[in-house]
Amino acid sequence: MARILTGIQSSGRPHLGNILGAIQPAIELSKDPANESFFFIADLHSLTTLKDGQLRHEYVKAIAATWLAFGFDTERNVFWRQSRVQEHTELAWYLNCFTPYPMLANAHSFKDKSERLADVNAGLFTYPVLQAADILLYDANLVPVGKDQKQHLEMSKDIASAVNRQVGSEILVLPESRIDERLMVIPGIDGMKMSKSYNNYIDIFLPEKDLLKVIKKIVSDSTALEDPKKPDTDITFQLYSLIAPDEQTQEMRENYLRGGYGYGHAKKALHELILEKFREPRKIFDYYMSNEEELEKILVAGEEKARAVARKTISRMRQALGFGS
């Protein structure tokens, strides 16, 4: 039985990139009866960059509703908010004391954020230690993440090894990352990686008209309507082909190559495809967004399951470190 664990920060509403690149593949893994999945909302991590509590509350709801909309089975697995299980922060403190300062100072993600952001706080610096705590608290074996998280996972492993080496026993389970090198990077409406931080994302849960407005903003070249177009370098086509069945993609490819088919037509087709393909998830998402109490119940039940596992690890750590159990 492999224990799979992953988290998504509540720093914005989930977009098509998060869904195709992280949420759907993780849910696929969770369907294997040999796996047990621990998926959580990293709301404490979001505090490093987002200070507005009301917004955070909205984003936590939206992320939870997205996992449910795409069919994550929260009865068989574990699904919770990081901030509600205090053992995350307790373990993070212990791990801080086993983390060499230069490891954090050299982290790509910290360097990148400290150049980009005005607020360079200590939470941003120790972000990878809290992430290590998230993983090690649950004895996770496999952590599916995108390429950008590779270094964070190596750090989690190094921190766990340091604890095991210095405390003198096999207290923490060393996690394996699962980074699929072929994993697609979904392009945003400007052709860069789709990301909350670039404001170039497609929120598939928007009302129909608002969704169309965003899709109309997808960048395209100036080839005239009647001329043939290059499908493979066009963002609308790329997004369409990530979602459409093969025959439909082939048809769209032929339309591009033939000419007489404009980018406006392609965008309209992409809009229709998103509405059709995600009809069910959109319904479930709206349902949970307007039935907060139900969402809350699911999260509270998950917290209890998570806490039961977390307490065992904390008790092992306390005992080993001389804090009593």
Question: Where do contacts with ligand ADP occur on this chain (CB under 6 A)?
Answer: 8-9, 17-18, 21-22, 145-146, 148, 185-186, 193-197
Q: Where are the beta strands (DSSP E) in the chain?
A: 2-9, 35-42, 78-81, 142-144, 176-178
| Among ligand ADP, ligand TRP, none, partner that 42 touches (CB below 5 to 8 angstroms by kind) | ligand TRP
To the nearest 10°, report the CA torsion of 289, 130, 318, 169: 120
Contact assessment for residue 40 and residue 80, using Cβ atoms and an 8 Å cutoff? yes
Find the shortest distance in angstroms from Cβ 191 to ligand ADP: 11
Per-residue binding string, ligand TRP, 9-48, x by CB under 6 A, is x--------------------------------x--x---
CA distance 98 to 91: 11
Q: What are phi and psi of 128, to 5 degrees?
A: -65, -25
87 sits near ligand TRP (criterion: CB under 6 A): no
Name which of 195, 268, 281 is nearest 236 in CA terms.
268
Contact assessment for residue 11 and residue 196, using Cβ atoms and an 8 Å cutoff? yes
145 sits near ligand TRP (criterion: CB under 6 A): yes
Contact residues for 230 (Cβ-Cβ < 8 A; gap 6+)? 256
C-beta of 81 vs 267, nearer to ligand TRP: 81
Find the shortest distance in angstroms from Cβ 58 to ligand TRP: 18
CA distance 200 to 241: 19
C-beta of 124 vs 189, nearer to ligand TRP: 124
157 sits near ligand TRP (criterion: CB under 6 A): no
Which residue of 27, 41, 62, 143 would you call a contact of ligand TRP, by CB under 6 A?
143
> How wide is the angle at C-alpha 196 spanned by C-alphas 191 and 197, nearest 5°?
85
Find the shortest distance in angstroms from Cβ 71 to ligand ADP: 17
CA distance 8 to 42: 5
C-beta of 151 vs 241, nearer to ligand TRP: 151
| Among ligand TRP, ligand ADP, none, partner that 244 touches (CB below 5 to 8 angstroms by kind) | none
CA distance 128 to 150: 11
| Among ligand TRP, ligand ADP, none, partner that 134 touches (CB below 5 to 8 angstroms by kind) | ligand TRP
Find the shortest distance in angstroms from Cβ 311 to ligand ADP: 27
Find the shortest distance in angstroms from Cβ 146 to ligand ADP: 2
Find the shortest distance in angstroms from Cβ 86 to ligand TRP: 16
Name which of 309, 24, 39, 290 is nearest 180 in CA terms.
24
Residue with tokens 């294997």: 32
Question: Taking contact as CB under 6 A, which single stretch among the options 30-38, 60-68, 83-91, 127-135 is the one that binds ligand TRP?
Answer: 127-135
Find the shortest distance in angstroms from Cβ 144 to ligand TRP: 8
Q: How far apart are the first and last CA of the chain?
A: 28
Return residues touching ligand TRP (CB under 6 A): 5-9, 42, 45, 131, 134-135, 143, 145, 149, 152
